[in-house]
Structure 1
Amino acid sequence: MKLLGLFRHAKSDWADPRARDFDRPLNKRGRTGAAIMGRHIRDHGVAWDHVISSPAVRCTETVEIAAEAAGRPLAVNWDRRIYLASSATLADLLREQDEGFSATLMVGHNPGLEDLIFDLVPDDGSSPLRDVVEVKFPTAAYAVLELDIDRWADLADNCARLVHLTRPRDLDPTLGPQLT
């Protein structure tokens, strides 16, 4: 069995309409959400032996803030292929992972991460957490999937169980949707 963690970048700043999408930083709410989720990921207890992330600014800031809040520095493999990748590209990247890693945390973007959950977790009614993801996999959401594989190279559709899902608003209601 392998473990896959999916951590979507925190809320980004849209204040500068001239900024390239890749260069958008986190906004204040995003920095707060990244810190809260970093502590949650630490407390959840999975020892991630490998972290791969998009190098987009909003992802690098999410990882840095989450790691600092958790009090655990992370050695991250920054992989440009994760930036705005499709589920198929993310799955291909996971199939390339070193077999020595049993627990990989991927930090990236939607819709790729959300679609990866839909591809890996069967839509057979057995996962109420999958139903939550169908509504939305919001910024800074964290999911853990147990993969029924022994080798990353064997990653295939419907090989996973979604065993954990936490959104920032689950830990701090002020980080939920802004109703105006």
Structure 2
Amino acid sequence: MPLTRRLYIVRHAKSSWDDPGLDDHERPLAPRGRHAVELMAEHLRAEAIRPALVLCSSARRTRETLAGLCLEAEAVIEPELYGASALKVLARLRRVAPAAQSVMVIGHNPAMRELVVGLAEAEGKRQRAELAALAAKFPTGAMATLCFDCPWPELRPGQARLTAFVRPRSLPRDSGLS
């Protein structure tokens, strides 16, 4: 029986536009983005989500999102994920080591949204509604969870099941954060 793999697709949290002279690659998280990351980190802990590997764009806002999630995983900063297309991200995922059962990608739209929409098949009414919502808008700080039963090199469009789509604004605000 094939092993089920999990893929967590995360769009970086809300970034700051306060300094118009700052290069896009160097934009930090906004206060709202930092708060969203705290909420998502609490969600990851509560749901025992522990990816074996994290692939993260080299942009400052994605690296700050990664740091705020407090993951105990091997993290690889991937410069090619900055500005990458969904196809380029998929090509990188196909090179993941076979032993990795779960991978998180932290990147940018439109690639994150397009990757999920391309890979996912929705089973059931709730998943179809989530996929439709995600296709319309993949907000900053959100995470889609996909499951599939093939090795990484064989991952193709339509092979994964969307099992969750979590937005920071849908999480409880009273998670004990100050």
Shorter-chain TM-score above 0.5: yes
| Corresponding residue number in structure 2 for 1:57 | 60
* Counterpart mapping for 1:94-173 below 5 A: 94-122=93-121, 127-149=128-150, 151-172=151-172
Give the secondary-structure state (helix, strand or coil) at the position aligned to 1:32: helix
| Cα offset, 1:47, TM superposition | 2.5
| Corresponding residue number in structure 2 for 1:39 | 42
Distance (whole Å) between structure 1 residues aligned to residue 122 and residue 83 of structure 2: 24
- Runs of 4 or more, structure 1, over 6 Å off, are none
User: Which residue, 2, 5, 8 being the options, matches 1:2?
Assistant: 5
Whether contact under 8 Å (2:94, 2:153) holds in the other structure is yes
| Corresponding residue number in structure 2 for 1:89 | 88
Distance (whole Å) between structure 2 residues aligned to residue 62 and residue 47 of structure 1: 15
| Corresponding residue number in structure 2 for 1:176 | none
Distance (whole Å) between structure 1 residues aligned to residue 142 and residue 115 of structure 2: 14
TM-score under structure 2 normalisation?
Answer: 0.88
Give the secondary-structure state (helix, strand or coil) at the position aligned to 1:38: helix
Give the secondary-structure state (helix, strand or coil) at the position aligned to 2:121: coil
Distance (whole Å) between structure 1 residues aligned to residue 67 and residue 105 of structure 2: 14
Aligned residues: 168
Q: Deviations over 1:74-98 (max 9, x none)?
A: 4311111111211100100000101
Q: 1:153 to 1:51 in 2, by over 3 A?
A: same
* Stretch deviating more after TM superposition (116-125 or 85-94): 116-125
| Corresponding residue number in structure 2 for 1:177 | none
Distance (whole Å) between structure 1 residues aligned to residue 139 and residue 83 of structure 2: 15
Q: 1:7 to 1:133 in 2, by over 3 A?
A: same
* Stretch deviating more after TM superposition (119-128 or 74-83): 119-128
| Cα offset, 1:143, TM superposition | 1.1
Kindly, what percent of the aligned residue pairs are identical? Answer: 32
Give the secondary-structure state (helix, strand or coil) at the position aligned to 1:100: coil
Unaligned segments of structure 1, at least 5 residues: 174-180
| Cα offset, 1:125, TM superposition | 7.6
Coordinate RMSD, CA, aligned: 1.7
| Cα offset, 1:124, TM superposition | 8.4
Q: Deviations over 1:41-92 (max 9, x none)?
A: 121223211111011100111111121xxxx544311111111211100100
**Which amino acid letter does the alignment assign opposite residue 145 of structure 2?**
V
| Corresponding residue number in structure 2 for 1:178 | none
